[in-house]
Amino acid sequence: MKNRFSAGRLTVYIVAYGLVAFMLIPIIWMFWVSFKPINSVVTVISELLTPPYGVESYIRVQESSMIWRWTLNSVIVGIVQTASTLLLSSLAAFAISRIAFKGKTFIFLLILAGLMVPVEATIVPLYELIVRFGWVNSYPALILPGIALPLGVLILKQFYDAIPNDLMEAAKIDGANLLRIWWSIFLPLSRTSMAALAIFVFVQSWNNFLWPLLVANDQSMMTLPVAIPTFQSSFTVDLTVPMAANVLASIPALIFFLIFQKQIIKGIAMTGIK
Amino acid sequence: MSKLAEVEAKEKVPMSKVKKREMWKSNLTAWLFLFPFVSLYLLFMVYPIIEGFIISLTRGGFGMDREFIGLSNYTTMLSDAFFWEALWNTIIFVLISTPSIVVLGLLMALLVNQGLKGTTFIRAAFFVPYMLSISVMTSIFVFIFQPYTGLLNEILRSVGLIDGEIFWLGETGLAWLSILVATLWWTVGFNMVLFLAGLQDISEEWYEAADMDGANAWQKFWHITLPSLRGVLTLVVILQSVASFKLFGQPWLMTGGGPGTSTRPLVQYIYELGFRNWNPGYASAVSYVLFLVMMIFAFIQYKLLIKKED
């Protein structure tokens, strides 16, 4: 075992933990600053590292912002978008994979072509559509345009294609209709792919910035990514309150990560590689 | 070919009534399954693409009767210095950020794959910034890069590297560097995960065989690891360059596109044309050019990275 700690091995350790420090210091700094009293000098490291500490800044964020409302908005948009994407793309993928119908190739190619279209390039017509529907500052505007995700159909179709036909034939003989086959055979079998897709969609939705910036300009309809900079822009000198807001905005995602770390990493690898 | 069509072709006889009814039923069921997805897809994806092109041929504000002006918006672009600047900024960012993230992501994946003590912790640390929302990430980095009160200058001062201050976000080159570092910090974990999945697919036996031939670590990396990662590499390069083409939030929140307009990317220019100058026609035309440039890039990458596999 001695040679495991050769000079080469030591270098590997130094590089690895050096990078760990680079990745973690900004996050630790965010937490640390947020616990200093409001308006304290946090820019001198020696002062930052000595007490007093407290939760003053957190109380201020709660009093002077709608942080819970913004978090709730982000959670609602994220969950509804993820659930709808899963449901709709799995139905569509099932039809494309398992039902014979006219225009199948055309529909599949049409959906595949969408993989190449950046949403950023369609914001003008999309925004006009939302205005015409009278949906500015509403959940439908935040949620609906992101649901029909080509990637979802692609991933699930590939998975469904690999499910042996015998299963389906057997169920048919038992008199099950297609909806029932989809629900009780294909959905349970594709749990891992679905979980992977769910994580992918949720993270995208949680971090979406440009689209909510366009359609949510009322404070009460903002999601966290749009609301946080708006709130912070009124603090130019004090760092503690903006950092407390950052911490509060990150906590749901960080908890989610700590609990589902393995699944998240596996999910991203799966959606990416497939 | 669909099954029914196959049967039909083989038999070469007119379909019986039963078969016709079955096929009609099959078509109907398929479309019922497809309807929810396809209707949203047509409304929010296909329609905007077509409508975007039509808007790009017009002049006039949102919700107004717009005047058809042909390709004028496109010819205006040719002599619009701001457009060229934004396009150039975007392409430079793609060309610099993509290789940086590939190298750093691969390095991180290799480190995680070494079986070091605390591997789970290291992997989590590399990935966790990706979980932060873009505005939290930029807010942290804006404060880190502050000239007088920022953490970075404070650290540099305390170790004696500088004694004044560096205006990280105030000078074009440094501002780009800051945006690049922030982006790397934020998204490299995602790419590391993809590389990691690729690494774990490589068979141990190849390394064992190489060991028997007396290959050193570098030779193993160059002749086994890297060639085996070709597929993942292609994927990361394509995903990352697409993401970099869509650059918006980082400069918007960190530099506002400044100093001046020197860090303004194409998406920010589109946003400002459309929603600050209220010029949807021109904004749509620039959107189409962005789309076109991305397609050209994707095509080049496809040719370079995928064709070589033959």
Q: What angle do CA B177, B182, B185 make, to 5 degrees?
A: 125
Does the distance separating the beta carbons of B37 and A153 come in below 8 Å? yes
Q: What is the pLDDT of residues B230-277, one digit of tens each?
A: 888 888 888 888 889 999 999 999 998 878 898 999 999 999 999 999
Q: How many CB pairs under 8 A join A and B?
A: 270
Report which residue type is found at B131: M
Instruction: Give the model's pLDDT for residue A274.
Output: 52
- Residues A144, A131: contact at Cβ < 8 Å? no
CA distances A249 to A67, A203, A244, B104, B136, Å, are 8, 14, 9, 27, 8
In a domain, A167, yes or no: yes
Residues A22 and A100 in one domain: no
Does the distance separating the beta carbons of B193 and A268 come in below 8 Å? yes
CATH number of residue A193's parent domain: 1.10.3720.10
CATH number of residue B241's parent domain: 1.10.3720.10
Question: In chain A, how many domains are there?
Answer: 2
In a domain, B69, yes or no: no
Residues A150 and A94 in one domain: yes
In a domain, A240, yes or no: no
Instruction: Give the model's pLDDT for residue A50.
Output: 77
Report which residue type is found at B61: G
Residues A49 and A83 in one domain: no
3-state secondary structure chain B: CCHHHHHHHHHCCCCCHHHHHHHHHHHHHHHHHHHHHHHHHHHHHHHHHHHHHHHCCEECCCCCCCEECCCHHHHHHHCCHHHHHHHHHHHHHHHHHHHHHHHHHHHHHHHHCCCCCCHHHHHHHHHHHHHCCHHHHHHHHHHHHCCCCCHHHHHHHHCCCCCCCCCCCCCHHHHHHHHHHHHHHHHHHHHHHHHHHHHHCCCHHHHHHHHHCCCCHHHHHHHHHHHHCHHHHHHHHHHHHHHHHCCCHHHHHHCCCCCCCCCCCHHHHHHHHHHCCCCHHHHHHHHHHHHHHHHHHHHHHHHHHHHHHC
Q: How far is CA A204 from the centre of its chain?
A: 4
- Token match 């930052």: residue? A48
ipTM over the 0.90 cut-off = no
Query: What are the residue ranges in chain B where pLDDT is below 50?
Result: 1, 310
Question: In chain B, how many domains are there?
Answer: 1
Question: Is a pLDDT exceeding 90 seen at residue A141?
Answer: yes
In a domain, A159, yes or no: yes
> How many whole angstroms separate alpha carbon B254 and alpha carbon B262?
13
Residues A74 and A178 in one domain: yes
Instruction: Give the model's pLDDT for residue B1.
Output: 44
> How many whole angstroms separate alpha carbon A146 and alpha carbon A114?
12
Residues A129 and A7 in one domain: no
When CB atoms are compared, the residue of B23, B44, B111 closest to A16 is B111
What is the maximal distance between C-alpha atoms in chain B? 90
Instruction: Give the model's pLDDT for residue B6.
Output: 57
Does the distance separating the beta carbons of B194 and A272 come in below 8 Å? yes
Nearest partner of B267 among B286, B240, B294, B280, judged by Cα: B286
Is residue A218 packed enough to be buried (19+ CB in 10 Å), middle (13-18) or exposed (0-12)? exposed
Residue of B nearest to A12 (CA): B111
Residue of B nearest to A96 (CA): B30
Residue-number span of the structural domain to which A71 is assigned:
65-233
Query: 10 Å Cβ neighbour count for B286?
Result: 28
Cα within 13 Å of Cα(A274), Cβ side: 23
- Residues A205, A147: contact at Cβ < 8 Å? no
Does the distance separating the beta carbons of A268 and B194 come in below 8 Å? yes
Residues A53 and A138 in one domain: no
Classify the phi-psi angles of B202: left when phi > 0, otherwise alpha if psi is within -120 to 50, otherwise beta.
beta
In a domain, A242, yes or no: no
Nearest partner of A160 among A231, A108, A230, judged by Cα: A108
Residue of A nearest to B135 (CA): A225
Instruction: Give the model's pLDDT for residue B91.
Output: 94
In a domain, A227, yes or no: yes
Report which residue type is found at A106: F
When CB atoms are compared, the residue of B48, B124, B291 closest to A129 is B48
What does DSSP assign to residue A221?
A: G
Cα within 13 Å of Cα(A42), Cβ side: 26
Query: 10 Å Cβ neighbour count for B210?
Result: 16
Q: For residue A118, is the peptide bond before it cis, meaning its omega torsion is within 30 degrees of 0? A: no
Residue of B nearest to A258 (CA): B124
Shortest alpha-carbon distance between residue B132 and chain A (Å): 6
When CB atoms are compared, the residue of A23, A29, A268 closest to B190 is A268
Residues A69 and A22 in one domain: no
In a domain, A22, yes or no: yes
Question: Is a pLDDT exceeding 50 seen at residue A2?
Answer: no
In a domain, B253, yes or no: yes
Tokens of A122: 């369609």
When CB atoms are compared, the residue of B38, B111, B129 closest to A107 is B38
Residues A80 and A216 in one domain: yes
Q: What is the pLDDT of residues A85-136, one digit of tens each?
A: 999 999 999 999 988 888 899 999 999 888 888 888 899 999 999 999 999 9
Is residue A18 packed enough to be buried (19+ CB in 10 Å), middle (13-18) or exposed (0-12)? exposed
Is residue A6 packed enough to be buried (19+ CB in 10 Å), middle (13-18) or exposed (0-12)? exposed
In a domain, B227, yes or no: yes
Residues A208 and A118 in one domain: yes
Does the distance separating the beta carbons of A226 and B154 come in below 8 Å? no
Mutate which: B1, B23, B43, B45, vs A, most A CBs within 10 A: B45
When CB atoms are compared, the residue of A15, A126, A226 closest to B48 is A126
Instruction: Give A 223-242 residues with CB within 8 A of chain B.
Output: 224-226, 228-229, 232, 239, 242
Residue of B nearest to A98 (CA): B30
Question: What does residue B59 show for φ and ψ, rounded to 5 degrees?
Answer: -130, 145
In a domain, A34, yes or no: yes
Q: What is the pLDDT of residues B60-72, one digit of tens each?
A: 888 777 889 989 9
In a domain, A247, yes or no: no
Query: Average pLDDT of chain A?
Result: 88
Residues A12 and A79 in one domain: no
Does the distance separating the beta carbons of B287 and A92 come in below 8 Å? no
Report which residue type is found at A142: L
Which of A58, A82, A97 is where one domain is finished?
A58
Mutate which: B49, B135, B252, vs A, most A CBs within 10 A: B135
For residue A273, which residues of chain B lie inside 8 Å, CB to CB?
194, 197-198, 231-232, 235
Query: 10 Å Cβ neighbour count for A119?
Result: 17
In a domain, B89, yes or no: yes
- Token match 């200093």: residue? A36
Residues A159 and A43 in one domain: no
**Mean pLDDT (whole number) for A30-51:** 82
Residue of A nearest to B28 (CA): A101
Nearest partner of A95 among A157, A18, A149, judged by Cα: A157
Q: How far is CA A172 from the centre of its chain?
A: 38
Residue-number span of the structural domain to which B288 is assigned:
82-309
Residues A90 and A181 in one domain: yes
- Interhelix angle for B119-127 vs B81-112, to 10°? 170
A182 touches chain B (CB under 8 A): yes
